Structure 1
């Protein structure tokens, strides 16, 4: 009798289902780079340069000299790591400056930086300890895990459907018992959904929540720095800062760093820094990362870098749809619908053979029959990069039979 774990068997099962993944080494985080197979301790053997349409580095700031410079300065003057929890000795002026900037752009009284967006979601839901979370069915895994850890019950409503949300809340309130009386309700949704490229109907979600006195929590991971006049997100674009109780996001996408944040009123942030376990019991965000995020946010707010991204997005969407592809969503994330799992993987492989990296997204990440190529452009992609991407989609699509 054995009580161990058959990990080889589990890996074999993932291999059979087409779900086993492998690490590939990138030479740099940029719009164009070279890749190598996992060297497993040996020097990496990089191939030809490829154009990357597979990164969440939406503004192309991860290798920007201005961001690198402030990160290096923070490392030299403050330290490479925070050294402790923020509540011990890990709270620095670099963290506070970042949080002031985040609160300002989010229209909030205060913000709090976490070590990751995942930690922000899990820690916040756990600390709030809602009796019920009403969660969009396509919310990110970090929200789902936060609900598993911190919510007494989770009710899933149809994707981007405020009417279904309202119906679920009404059913809970009219359940024929006192179950809904006096409970703490939290409505949670992403603003931009990373696999479909669509946007939650936040105003309608807030309307539904208001009817039942529920709080609203919005994860702006894929929107921070890209929407609104001041780089805040969809919440700011829609003028909803005063109606969304908890605003979250990441520093690792458009802000080209690492970490996450929560923004809201003074009481929320003061409570979270005392009660969110993923904040209290975790070493603070590193000063270089905090400084890098601050500078990236400044660039997003004060320059037209986001406009460059949206111009590229429009060119790609027009080009792909003009070929006959169905492109989902309405944002900077361009999911090119293929349908069949095998066809999507083959299309991604043929794109890569032409020097264009864009991943195949397949079940269980997306429903059966909706496999797709997720195209994520950057503001730093050139006209030649975009043309190369479109040419590759045309040639590869004809070979696979997707066109």
Structure 2
């Protein structure tokens, strides 16, 4: 009969050949020791109570533990000054932006944050996105390069940005400017005339804690007229005047695009690009993750702005962080652990996946949260515990962490 709607009740014998099988996906991840779950915390501070994954139920929190696994490096997510700025923006402006910033979601709070970011990054202008991931994907695809040269250990958001841009991606050896130069020379010999090239690197690598040789990378890029984009996610706010490695090295005039996040040292949410006026004008028109996303919530923008102010003006926050870093690095090294990195990220490398997982579990038993990181997140044979201290950890917290590593490592025969 004309207009009759077919029944959607396929019955018990329904054909599922074109559907999906999430049961097998989950079972495979578990059998490959790659399964992860969500474990809620009761507060975003240096000490917190955690709960086993409650699925759809209410969390049941356990005893308080010391958190050495967060990126809240300056401890500002729970800072009273930041909380007050958050509440004030929610009251005056609203809990959410309500629309894309190109429609009605652009507020004075957003503009104030962008002015302060541009000043801290010594750039003409900044543009705030809803997340760091959205920033990298949106910026890289909007630039639409012909070729990208990407460090082999760059963050997943950079990798996905390269894929979505459909640029030819050349991966160069980690933190190796000579490898980058060789790759560019080869590309030029193979007919790379009239192409737009983009060099992509983290400044501080999140799993290794090491720092890219940005000045040397700029030397190579300038030799070929390429642009340089640096991801300062794990550096923003931790150096003089709230800047990152680019500011520490005085490279603002040589790095075309400075990217960073508001969700780590600044304790809020979102990401940003800092650069020239015309770059920002292009991105706000062409970056799909900006154009088609609701603007960052005003309370989050206000929180990030206040956190940036604290990071720039209150040197004690940074001094406490670096004092904790030094105490941990020295203590772990004296026990015989292999500690990598040159920054606030301290990878304690044990090599074997099973050893790293066992060490992470033993630390948890001693009320220290510092989970194991294993392949494919890191390279095979480099499984590790990634320690991330905060400025708000006390000396007693740090010493408790060291004691846990001593007891757990000795019991497992790792030291």
State TM-score, norm by structure 2.
Answer: 0.95
Query: For 2:164, which of 146, 149, 152 is the aligned residue?
Result: 149
Q: Shift of residue 42 of structure 1?
A: 2.9
Q: Shift of residue 361 of structure 1?
A: 0.3
Query: For 1:100, which of 107, 115, 118 is the aligned residue?
Result: 115
> 1:229-266 CA deviation, whole Å, 9 max, x = no partner?
21110000000000000000000000000000000000
> 1:191-247 CA deviation, whole Å, 9 max, x = no partner?
0000011000000000000000000000000000002x2111000000000000000
Give the Cα separation in 2 of the matches to 1:40 and 1:190.
35
Q: Shift of residue 152 of structure 1?
A: 2.0
Query: For 1:271, which of 282, 286, 300 is the aligned residue?
Result: 282
Q: Note if 1:201 corresponds to 2:213.
A: yes
* Corresponding residue of 1:163: 178
* Corresponding residue of 1:239: 250
Query: For 2:226, which of 196, 204, 214 is the aligned residue?
Result: 214
Q: Note if 1:111 corresponds to 2:111.
A: no
Give the Cα separation in 1 of the matches to 2:289 and 2:67.
32
Work out whether residues 125 and 151 of structure 1, in 8 Å CA contact, stay in contact via their aligned partners in 2: no
SS at 1:36 equivalent: coil
SS at 2:242 equivalent: coil
SS at 2:76 equivalent: coil
Give the Cα separation in 1 of the matches to 2:36 and 2:122.
40
Aligned Cα RMSD in Å?
A: 0.7
Q: Shift of residue 183 of structure 1?
A: 0.3
Q: Shift of residue 40 of structure 1?
A: 2.7
- Residues 2-401 of structure 1 aligned to structure 2 (within 5 Å): 2-175=17-190, 179-227=191-239, 229-304=240-315, 305-401=317-413
Give the Cα separation in 1 of the matches to 2:213 and 2:391.
26
Work out whether residues 133 and 151 of structure 1, in 8 Å CA contact, stay in contact via their aligned partners in 2: no
Aligned length: 399
5+ residue gaps, structure 2, are 1-14
Give the Cα separation in 1 of the matches to 2:301 and 2:59.
30
Q: Shift of residue 368 of structure 1?
A: 1.3
Give the Cα separation in 1 of the matches to 2:178 and 2:134.
30
Give the Cα separation in 2 of the matches to 1:369 and 1:38.
29
State TM-score, norm by structure 1.
Answer: 0.98
Give the Cα separation in 2 of the matches to 1:77 and 1:217.
36
Work out whether residues 126 and 276 of structure 1, in 8 Å CA contact, stay in contact via their aligned partners in 2: yes
5+ residue gaps, structure 1, are none
> 1:21-69 CA deviation, whole Å, 9 max, x = no partner?
0110100000001001122333321111000000000000111110000
Work out whether residues 111 and 261 of structure 1, in 8 Å CA contact, stay in contact via their aligned partners in 2: yes
